Structure 1
Amino acid sequence: MIFSWLRNRRRRRVLAQPFPKEWEELLQRRVRHYRYLPPSHQQRVRQIVPVMVAEKEWAAAGDFKVTPEMAVTIAGQAAVMASGFDEPYFFDRLHTVVIHPKTIRFAPEQTSRNPNLPGGWLSGIAWHRGPVVLSWGEIRTELTGRSPGRNVILHEFAHYLDGLDGPADGKPPMSSKESERRWYAVTEAEYLRLVGSARRGEATLLDHYGASNRAEFFAVSTEYFFELPHQLYERHPDLYAVLQEFYHLDPRQWLPRIESPRQDDAGDGGDFQRFRARRQRRSDVAQLKAVQAMAPGDALYALAFDHLQRGRPADAIRLFDQLLEVDPRDEESLAHRALAYLRLQRLAEARRDCEAALAIDPQDAEALWARGAVALQEGRTLEAVNDLSEAVDASPQNIEIRRARASAWMVAGWPQKAVADLTEALNIEPHDAELLAERARAYQALNRTADANRDIARAKLLEPELAWPA
């Protein structure tokens, strides 16, 4: 109680001071939204900014120096987010904002000591009950307007809001149960659509980074709600509506429309398709360099496995043949050639390779999987179940083996066991539409119609163009 009283007293003193003229000019120049806000919302921003600047610790990384301009710019963007709330909101649980001069990257010794530190290059990061960390270089780039839809300050402060009621999960605190239900219904459907589009490499308005998880979806959606509100409203009106309800703001009413060259704003997706092509070329070059650095046998195996993964079993068989000419007891090549034969329905050859691989290593998961799949196609269901169960024991994280055993359980007349396998597979890969459809069929066999309908609905959101059972 005494601490709240002291805090409120200190804030009254801060707010009693005239708002600095240079800060007003800075907000007008640096915070694009501010100059378009209605007067009442501008006043709310002028209440929030001085309190945040005074109360937060504005820390710099290394020898970098934090200036008042940086603090006011960041506080101003955060204040715009909060300007629609009924009472002035000062982000009380946030104590520290750390500013890096350029892109953020934690040293390997730091990430090895602290598993909560992410690897790679970052423009910002926010921890549950921890600091918000921002790259000033990224902020300055975004202030130029060259990255429509991107705003790292809004993104990371959205993570902060998301974490107010527990670890960030894409659902910030809601005002009522009804709002919570509406939020979940809309955002879950929109998230799954984005996941499906990202997996297919389709052009979308929302950045595919939002498909990483639900917390990132909320943060990315917040960026577009404030930065490209007109486009978001036109293409995702339901998502816009729940964000409008949460933030108590409607940026369409005051922010001028700007066009975005990103993703599906390029008409036929031309810019995005060119971006995808460049990214694929970089990936192919990196893969080629990795293969060239391998020993010849390892390189040939990597290429054969890549053919198998990409749905080119005949090409895979040709390369596995070369490997097995050199070493006929290479059980990995035997097992994977068996899987390639299986995809071509060459069952006798698949069975022969399985037996040869299992004679060398009786626990080879791929060989057991292939032999079980052959047995299932030949009508030897119990043999298939036994082989596939051994394969699951040997490789419990392999969702394809679990999928194969689920098919065997269905043929054997045990749909409950199929549900268990498919559920385990979906725990590993929750956005596989075909796994959802297969579990729906198992649920139907158990007369669990509501569960089946739920899975089909999710599958349709992920892959709307495919023909799903009614």
Structure 2
Amino acid sequence: MLILAFAIIVLVFIYFFNREKKPAVQWPTPLLRPLLTQHIGYYTNLNDADKMVFEQKIQAFLKDVRIEGVGLEIDDADRIMVASSAVIPIFGFKDWTYRNVTNVLLYPDTFDSEFQFEGGEDRNIMGMVGSGYMNGQMILSRNALVKGFSKNSGKENTGIHEFVHLLDKVDGATDGIPEGFLTHEYTAPWVKMMHQEIHKIEAGHSDIDLYATTNEAEFFAVVSEYFFEKPDQFQTKHPELYEMLSKIFGQKPMA
């Protein structure tokens, strides 16, 4: 097990240091549109003008960020789902791009804290944003990624969850307070709203996933999944949270 963990860490470094030597993936629009239409419900709900903007943002992300498989061969649909996970939260920001991720590694399934995805009983991590020597890296379970864009995803989308963590991290702290996207006047109300809803979840009086009570950062990521996956339901059951997230992300997603 230790040998496997070490091998994976070495592989991460190889990907990181050699990424500039690999040619950028080119995505002609005729190839891009069918994949987006087939796999990304968010995209299909956009008008024609916004679809073109979404496609441009997808192409820019795929040009800047390497997506690699570890222990599996990935395909174009995988790449489109990763890129869409990144673009959906920032779609309301005209010229914004991710500067805190260079590589996304797809594992076959869930993994543990030592990045092992085979054997053991503690493989319950679906996604992780790297820090320290893993800074700039993201690891996602491919199974969780695909499920997040399936018709049976419910309120969950692991890809969106992890990219929201990156947005949260822009101000230097992954603390559930996206100061770069929330004006100062709304910061205190947002913190109060988070804590009130966390108490409701703990008391069993909320339909937001219990994982949101882990800490403020996880709360922000979990409610963001819900906001984008089931916007009508989220607006009906959590109107104040919906309005606040609309301000944070600069958009009101369609159901």
Letter in 2 for 1:178: E
Query: Are 1:51 and 2:60 an aligned pair?
Result: yes
Alignment: residue pair count: 223
Q: Is the 8 Å Cα contact of residues 149 and 227 (structure 1) preserved in structure 2?
A: yes
CA contact (8 A) 2:81 2:145 kept: no
CA deviations on 1:18-70 (whole Å, 9 max, x unpaired) are 842121110011111101023343222111111111111212223x2232321
CA contact under 8 A between 1:149 and 1:223: conserved in structure 2? yes
Name 1:123's counterpart in structure 2: 126
Deviations 1:113-138 (A, max 9, x none): xxxxxx54211111354312111112
Matched, 1:167 2:169: no
Aligned match for 2:81, one of 73, 77, 83: 73
CA distance in 2, matches of 1:236, 1:215: 18
Moved more, 163-172 or 211-220: 163-172
Q: How high is the TM-score relative to the length of structure 2? A: 0.79
Structure-1 residue corresponding to 2:7 = none
Instruction: Provide the residue aligned with 1:42 in structure 2.
Output: 51
Cα displacement (A) at 1:227: 0.7
**How far apart are residue 106 of structure 1 and its match?**
4.7
- Partner of 1:20 in structure 2? 29
When residues 18 and 211 of structure 1 are mapped into structure 2, their CA distance, relative to the original with a 3 A threshold, is closer
Larger Rg: 1
Counterpart AA for 1:123: M
Distance (whole Å) between structure 1 residues aligned to residue 115 and residue 50 of structure 2: 44
SS of residue matched to 2:41: coil
Aligned to 1:208: 210
Alignment CA distance shift 1:28-1:184 (3 Å) = same
**Cα shift readout 1:201-238 (whole Å, capped 9, x = no counterpart):** x2631101101111110000000000111121112111
> Which AA in structure 1 matches 2:233?
Q
RMSD, aligned α-carbons = 2.4
Corresponding position of 1:84: 92
* Unmatched tracts of structure 2, length 5 or more: 1-23
Determine if contact 1:182/1:242 at 8 Å carries over to the other structure. Answer: no
CA distance in 2 between partners of 1:170 and 1:61 (Å)? 30
1:124 is aligned with what amino acid?
G
| Distance (Å, rounded) in 1 between the aligned partners of 2:246 and 2:112 | 34
Distance apart, 1:241 and its partner CA: 0.8
Any idea what the Cα deviations from partners look like across 1:60-104, whole Å, max 9, x if unmatched? 223x2232321122102321221111x232212211111011222
What CA distance in whole angstroms lies between the structure 1 residues aligned with 2:39 and 2:79?
Answer: 12
Instruction: Calculate percent identity across the aligned residue pairs.
Output: 25
Matches within 5 A, 1:50-449: 50-62=59-71, 64-85=72-93, 87-107=94-114, 120-128=123-131, 129-172=135-178, 173-194=180-201, 196-197=202-203, 202=204, 204-251=206-253, 254-255=254-255
| 2:99 aligned counterpart, secondary structure | coil
Q: CA deviation at 1:107?
A: 4.8
User: How high is the TM-score relative to the length of structure 1?
Assistant: 0.44
